[in-house]
Chain A
Amino acid sequence: MNLKELYQEIILDHGKNPRNLRKTENFNKDAKGHNPLCGDKVHIFLKLNDNKKLEDISFEGQGCAISMASASIMTDLLKGKEEKEVKEIVNDFLEMIKEKDEINTNLLKDDEKTKLMCLSGVKQYPMRVKCATLSWHTLTSAIEKSQNEINSESLEV
């Protein structure tokens, strides 16, 4: 157990001053996520243009430092990416949180990968993994619109 690994400076910074904490104007996709155990809530807004490029991504919600930082970093890194790329990065991130040691995708620069890896500290805290993954699952749901609300208790990770 290592608290310093969990609460790294980047996490605390993003947790305190979340980027893209707002509602995208003219968003065309959105989804809500909820963790009924702790009450964490997130609402993700996307604006995908005609070329399926993520013109804007933002979120509203409230939660712990981990969940706010995760949503903040996620929105920061994905803005401007194409839908296909977004899916690849999301999968890569979720696999990293689940089992892998690193982020493999070539779609992110090294410093961006480092940012994402800051969230890997939750692996030592099984009860907190959902805090880090809620916004990512909610993003997937927004893109696919498969479900209106993501409930973290029905998710694997």
Chain B
Amino acid sequence: MNINNIKKEFPIFDNKVHNNDLVYLDSANSSQKPRVVVDRIYDFYTKEFSNVGRSVHYLAVAATNLYENTRTSVQKFINAKDANEIVFTKGATEAINLVASTFGQNHLKEGDEVLLTELEHHSNYVPWHYLRKSKGIKIEFAEINEDGEITLESIEKKITPKTKIIGVTHLSNVTGAILPIKEIVQLAHSKNIPVLVDGCQGAPHLKLDMQDLDCDFYAISCHKMYGPTGLGILYAKKTWLEELPPYQGGGGMIGEVKKEGITYGDLPNKYEAGTMATAQVIAFDESIKFLNKIGMDKIIKHEKELIEYGQEILRKNNSVKLIGNPKTKGSVLSFTIDGIHPHDIATILDEDGVAIRAGHHCCQILHDKLDIAASARASLGVYNSKDDLDKLNSSINKCKKIFELK
């Protein structure tokens, strides 16, 4: 599959936005879906639908096999040791909530510290805040440097004997910084501290190898990986999934249910209560096939070229200020323009069919630190091209013209 011709695999690009070709630069928010994924959902519902893991009829057995096939595909895609280390959730948010809640129950008490970073998305802060309220734990934040990076040293500085778990993003959705996860995990493990990685931005843009990273938990958002909404993945080491309590109770996750008591099911059922997002799981297999068909190496190379090109043209554009200058940067170009609020930028760009995001991108801690209320963000996916970035730049020039900036 030729990456330069990939737009045609995505039906959304057949549509016009305000009579313009769509220039979609909001993939960090959610990516568009290739036809194979959309078709798979339709086919499943029209030809193969059944609930999974319960009935013994033909459709139920076939659907269960398809559902479990995706689990194996995910396992291979992220090089996890065991398919039972893959738990389907309703999103990466739920995956992180699952860890915070169950780890909190078994391992956190008043005064214990959870170490996060200033780059974290709200979804890797708010779930821990609940424990601050309910259990009196403390939350510490490793600080960014002036390039918008989190270094190993900044993590090390905040580790104390009370640090019980570290939660870090793999790739910042604002500065684009790629964190040294493997080194962070090595450091944390040397002090017996487990590490949760928010992989929302990492999974679609980086080659993942759980056994190499050696992290304890890794949260994935499927809709940012050219997959359906309503689906996330929690990778967790088997020892954790065996030791931690279930997150939600309901059908499918039990062993034996008696009036006197209940036993829980084996992995991975223990963490998949109720009817799951069956069609989404089955369709997500197509997303993985799609990524594998192009090849993550090619995707990484393609996006690296684009991000370098994007930085180059935006740096040349007067009054555009890029946010963060990390040495290893992926997929996002956040910026501000002196004299134009990001929301006005986004509205004006939209008129040209250029879709970006404006706001705090669910990172208020980071925006406070940078002392800005909001920023504009162009984020990339496999379907983007240099041409898209040129259009971004010329629409930015149109903003400047409307606001009479030079």
Contacts and interface: CB of A to CB of B under 8 A. Distances in A.
A82 interface: no
Interface stretch (A20-28, A62-70, A73-81, A112-120): A62-70
Given A16-B339, A37-B359, A3 B402 contact: yes
Contacts of A37: 359
B373 A41 contact: yes
Interface string B327-364: 00000000000011111100110010000001110001
A34 B344 CA distance: 17
Interface of A is mostly: mixed
B402 A38 contact: no
B344 A66 contact: yes
Nearest to A128: B347
B343 A3 contact: no
B360 A7 contact: no
A68 B343 CA distance: 12
A62 B351 contact: no
Interface of B: 18, 339-344, 347-348, 351, 358-360, 364, 367, 373-374, 402-404
Contacts of B18: 1
B351 A1 contact: yes
A153 to B, nearest CB: 13
Contacts of A131: 343
Contacts, number: 52
B370 to A, nearest CB: 12
Cβ-closest 9 pairs across A and B: A64-B341, A64-B343, A39-B373, A38-B359, A39-B374, A65-B344, A64-B344, A39-B360, A62-B373
A12 B341 contact: no
Contacts of A139: none
A128 B342 CA distance: 12
30 contacts: A3-B347, A3-B348, A3-B351, A3-B402, A7-B344, A7-B402, A12-B403, A12-B404, A16-B403, A38-B342, A38-B343, A38-B358, A38-B359, A38-B374, A39-B364, A39-B373, A39-B374, A40-B343, A40-B374, A41-B373, A63-B343, A64-B341, A64-B344, A65-B341, A65-B344, A65-B403, A66-B344, A68-B341, A128-B347, A131-B343
Given A38-B374, A39-B373, A6 B347 contact: yes
A39 B336 CA distance: 14
A80 to B, nearest CB: 30
Interface string A1-35: 10100110000100010000000000000000000
Interface string A94-138: 000000000000000000000000000000010010010000000
Interface string A25-62: 00000000000011111000000000000000000001
A7 B405 CA distance: 14
Contacts of B342: 38, 64
Nearest to A68: B341
A145 B283 CA distance: 52
